[in-house]
Amino acid sequence: MSVTKSTKPVGIEVSLAIAEAVKLAEAEVVAAYPITPQTHIVEHLSDLVANGELSAEYVPVESEQSALSACLGSSAAGARTFTATSSQGLMLMAEMVFIAPVLRLPIVMAVANRAISAPINIWNDHSDIMSIRDCGWIQFFAENGQEATDMTIISFRLAEDKNVMLPVILNLDGFTLSHFIEPILFPPQDKVRKYLPPYQTAHKLDITKPISMGLLGAPEVFTEIKKATDNALVASKKYVSKAFDEFGKIFGRQYKLVETYKTDDAETIIVTMGSISETATVAVDEMREAGEKVGLVHLRLWRPFPVDELRAAVRGAKHLAVVDRHFTPGFPEGPVATEIRALMYHEADRPKMSNFILGLGGRDVPRNHFKYIVEQVKGLGASGRQGHYEMVGVLE
Amino acid sequence: MTIQKLNSAQVPFEKITAKTFPKGPDSLAPGHRACQGCGEVLALRLLMKALGRDFMAVSATGCMEVCTGPFPQSAWEMPWLHIAFENAAAVASGVDAGNTILRRKGKLPDQRIPVVAIAGDGGTADIGLQALSGALERYHENFIYICLDNEAYMNTGIQRSSATPFGASTTTSPAGKLSKGQSTWKKNMPAIAVAHNIPYVATASPAFHLDMMNKIRRAAAIPGPAYIHVYAPCPTGWRMKSELSVESSRLAVNSRVFPLYEVIDGQYVISKRVDNPIPVADYLKPQGRFRHLKEDDIAQISERVNHEYEHLIKLSETFDGPLF
């Protein structure tokens, strides 16, 4: 029996669960190229197509560059389209990544986050996705397997919303999330079909109503096209909330753009993204037991950035300790910390900011790291200024 | 499991003759910005006359993409898509995959829609070679790839490609005191396409327009991928009078520089035998890019041209049936 027919949680590898969610979403074209740690997703999709469980065209392309190219083609033809990649693969397809949102093609892509070379390293950090941060896609970070499964379905619904029509990247930490076996409750197919009706669009290649897609943008129109695309991305935020709320109503699992944990009276708030948020939650519990006034903010939506939600979530804190899984060589802070500092600049009552880089290239992130971070923040001098990121656990 | 496969040479298609030449405007609107005498546009329009409007085109970045589509204008009157330079084949393969599944699900009428990828020689033989190889090997049913070969990167300003012929002076293979222009021999793209064991490969020239249009019709009729290598003179890049485009296309064929042939299921078939070729010099002389060549250089080119032509004839005569 197919795992998606079970009414109880099923123990399954998260990569396979995502593939099952793509099946539940009835994706029509999957074009992908193998790269660790994403491969299990597309291997399982190949199986589902080969066994007739998913009626789709699987295009086994010869590179990631061609993977997203083929996806742009199939999405332009009007087919619901999925792909997945990681790291070097995302780098190779980068040129095409930036083209998808401007053409308003609602492709869904899972990125099993992995370090980028050199040195070559197959393990998890966020350097791949941060390197294409400004690509213009809606971007999520999944925290656990259930969320990754649900978010796959939500991503299609959101991307294809007539008010959105933008591609979506679902980030999940390579290995530390993608390869874990977790209990997953699969949404029933009939309810998924209700939540996510078949994709129909007039925005496609059609011999009865021909359009041209991908025209040249001269200086007279380029700025306007770029602004229109950003307007669409910024405006998509309310539809993200809508897609979350309707998912919550039908399936009983409610997601928020920004999650908060024990932040109400917190003096120090740690900000995280991705699967380490679960580790951080446990660390917060342990620190709370020891009397520490500490809380956690977990960013689920990364683009469009949930500006107001983030400000509201950290309001009242004395210290923000922002965790980055990537750094910006030659700059004193990582990308997440830089952005949050910029967003807090005009706040009258803003917290002191510190930035900690950890978990690079698969380096383990234990609970102690978060306790260490909070100790460091408390120990800052009178100015409360850190001045430069600290790379936790680095041997120098 | 045995797959019943019709010999591709037997696949019927409606042949174009002088009497049945498609009338009326084709799907490329007037007002595009191509140079005078552009061989690529001429080839494009023959493609459109052959296929009508029931096809989809994917262009690689290049002259044809730039001169036909400055937003909000477009010269394409059928569905058209441009993504980037190196990936026309991959994009077209995705379009075909999309059409295929939508047809299977009943979301599109049960009608084969040719998807035509169009790229220049740089977008085909250099930066697009990997994507093309992948698409040919994956055997997309309604996939046609057209290489419009003007033998250099013309859109960026006449830089050499691997399809630039020996001796041609370009902006990155300039003739000079120590250089006779391009120092390497033109890459044999049709042979590379043939090596993928696809049902149809052909060469075509806009000077032989009926031959070219019928090759496009045959490519569309045969299920499986097709590759057509089109000779497309560029008067601007070749330093040639613009009215000589068609003439140089004809000279290229009649001098054996650009032989016309088909490769159907692996079987080479010569479209036009050239038993008494005109001198290669007659082809080279009107083109400024070869201006610097001396007699012995031309003799060397002539020897190579004839050798390659004889090799082609041998290929066509050695095997008298489809390879697969």
A227-251: per-residue pLDDT in tens?
A: 999 999 999 999 999 999 999 999 9
Residue A396 is predicted with a pLDDT of 85
Q: Report the alpha-carbon distance of residue A162 to residue A62 in Å, rounded.
A: 32
Name the phi and psi angles at B227, rounded to 5: -125, 125
Residue B1 is predicted with a pLDDT of 44
How many residue pairs bridge chain A and chain B with CB atoms within 8 Å of each other? 166
Q: Report the alpha-carbon distance of residue B166 to residue B170 in Å, rounded.
A: 11
In this prediction the pTM is 0.97
Q: Report the alpha-carbon distance of residue B23 to residue B225 in Å, rounded.
A: 28
Report A:195-224 residues touching B (Cβ under 8 A). 198, 205-207, 210-218, 221
Please check whether residue B242 lies inside any domain of the structure: yes
- Under the banding of pLDDT at 50, 70 and 90, the label for residue A384 is low
3-state secondary structure B90-153: HHHHHHHHHHHHHHHCCCCCCCCCCEEEEEEHHHHHHCCHHHHHHHHHHCCCCEEEEEEECCCE
Extended strands (E) in A42-133: 57-60, 81-85, 108-113
Q: How many residues does chain A have?
A: 396
Write the single-letter amino acid at B41. V
Q: Do the strands B200-204 and B226-231 form a parallel or antiparallel pair, or are they unpaired?
A: parallel
Q: Confirm if A101 and A166 have CB atoms less than 8 A apart.
A: yes
Residue B31 is predicted with a pLDDT of 86
Q: Report the alpha-carbon distance of residue B283 to residue A175 in Å, rounded.
A: 62
- Given a cut of 80, whether residue A308 has pLDDT beyond it is yes
Q: Supply the range of the domain harboring residue B148.
A: 35-318
- Given a cut of 90, whether residue A386 has pLDDT beyond it is no
Contacts of A61 in chain B (CB under 8 A): 90, 93, 134, 138
Residue B205's CATH number: 3.40.50.970
pLDDT digits (tens, 9 = 90+) for A263-289: 999 999 999 999 999 999 999 999 999
pLDDT digits (tens, 9 = 90+) for A6-58: 999 999 999 999 999 999 999 999 999 999 999 999 999 999 999 999 999 99
- Closest residue of chain B to A103, computed from CA coordinates: B83
Q: Report the alpha-carbon distance of residue B167 to residue B180 in Å, rounded.
A: 6
| Percent of chain A surpassing pLDDT 70 | 98
Please check whether residue B26 lies inside any domain of the structure: no
B26: its two tokens: 């084709």
Q: Report the alpha-carbon distance of residue B170 to residue B161 in Å, rounded.
A: 9
Chain-centroid distance, C-alpha A92: 19
Asked if A65's CB is within 8 angstroms of B90's CB, the reply is: yes
List, in order of start, the domains of chain A with CATH numbers. Answer: 3-251 (3.40.50.970), 259-391 (3.40.50.920)
Asked if A60's CB is within 8 angstroms of B78's CB, the reply is: no
A355: its two tokens: 């930035």
A252: its two tokens: 């009983």
Q: Report the alpha-carbon distance of residue B181 to residue B293 in Å, rounded.
A: 9
d(CA A55, nearest CA chain B) in Å:
8
Report B:131-160 residues touching A (Cβ under 8 A). 131, 133-135, 137-138
- Closest residue of chain A to B117, computed from CA coordinates: A73
Say what the alpha-carbon torsion angle B89, B95, B99, B104 is, to the nearest 10 degrees. 70
Q: Report the alpha-carbon distance of residue B260 to residue B278 in Å, rounded.
A: 15
- Given a cut of 60, whether residue A299 has pLDDT beyond it is yes
Write the single-letter amino acid at A292. E
What is residue A267's DSSP assignment? S
B288: its two tokens: 């400024």
Q: How many residues does chain B have?
A: 324
Report B:73-112 residues touching A (Cβ under 8 A). 73-74, 76-84, 86-87, 89-102, 104-105, 107
ipTM of the complex: 0.97
Residue B224 is predicted with a pLDDT of 97
What is residue A25's DSSP assignment? T
The count of other CB atoms within 10 Å of the CB of residue B223 is 15
Query: Which residues in chain B land under pLDDT 50?
Result: 1
Q: Answer whether A45 touches B (CB < 8 Å).
A: no
pLDDT digits (tens, 9 = 90+) for A129-184: 999 999 999 999 999 999 999 999 999 999 999 999 999 999 999 999 999 999 99
- Given a cut of 90, whether residue A1 has pLDDT beyond it is no
d(CA A101, nearest CA chain B) in Å:
12
Q: Confirm if A135 and A59 have CB atoms less than 8 A apart.
A: no
Q: Give B28's contacts (C-beta < 8 A, 6+ positions apart).
A: B41, B44, B45, B48, B68, B75, B76, B77
Q: Report the alpha-carbon distance of residue A143 to residue A281 in Å, rounded.
A: 11
Asked if A71's CB is within 8 angstroms of B87's CB, the reply is: no
Average pLDDT score, chain A: 96
d(CA A74, nearest CA chain B) in Å:
4
d(CA A97, nearest CA chain B) in Å:
11
Say what the alpha-carbon torsion angle B117, B98, A47, A51 is, to the nearest 10 degrees. -120
Asked if A78's CB is within 8 angstroms of B94's CB, the reply is: no
Asked if A28's CB is within 8 angstroms of B99's CB, the reply is: no
Please check whether residue B8 lies inside any domain of the structure: no
Residue A2 is predicted with a pLDDT of 86
Please check whether residue B14 lies inside any domain of the structure: no
What is residue A12's DSSP assignment? E
B145: its two tokens: 């790839």
d(CA A150, nearest CA chain B) in Å:
25
Looking at the DSSP assignment, which residues form a beta bridge with residue A258? A299
Candidates A62, A105, A109, partner chain B, best to mutate (most B CBs within 10 A):
A62
Please check whether residue B27 lies inside any domain of the structure: no
Q: Report the alpha-carbon distance of residue B106 to residue A148 in Å, rounded.
A: 31
d(CA B142, nearest CA chain A) in Å:
14
Please check whether residue B225 lies inside any domain of the structure: yes
Looking at the DSSP assignment, which residues form a beta bridge with residue A70? none
Closest by CA position to B189, among listed B258, B246, B91, B139: B258
For the sheet with A108-113, list strands across it: A57-60, A29-32, A81-85, A108-113, A168-173, A138-141, A301-303
B37: its two tokens: 């005498």
A334: its two tokens: 């990582």
CA-to-CA separations, B229 to A168, A356, B117, B182, B226, in angstroms, rounded: 38, 56, 12, 21, 10
Q: Report the alpha-carbon distance of residue B44 to residue B41 in Å, rounded.
A: 5
Q: Report the alpha-carbon distance of residue A61 to residue A49 in Å, rounded.
A: 16
A127: its two tokens: 């350097």
| Percent of chain A surpassing pLDDT 90 | 95
Please check whether residue B13 lies inside any domain of the structure: no
Residue B323 is predicted with a pLDDT of 84
Q: Confirm if A323 and A307 have CB atoms less than 8 A apart.
A: no
Q: Confirm if B266 and B194 have CB atoms less than 8 A apart.
A: yes
Q: Confirm if B75 and B28 have CB atoms less than 8 A apart.
A: yes
Smallest Cβ distance to B83: which of A28, A60, A72?
A72
Please check whether residue B110 lies inside any domain of the structure: yes
Q: Report the alpha-carbon distance of residue A71 to residue A77 in Å, rounded.
A: 10
CA-to-CA separations, B265 to A218, B47, B227, in angstroms, rounded: 44, 22, 12
Domains contained in chain B, number:
1
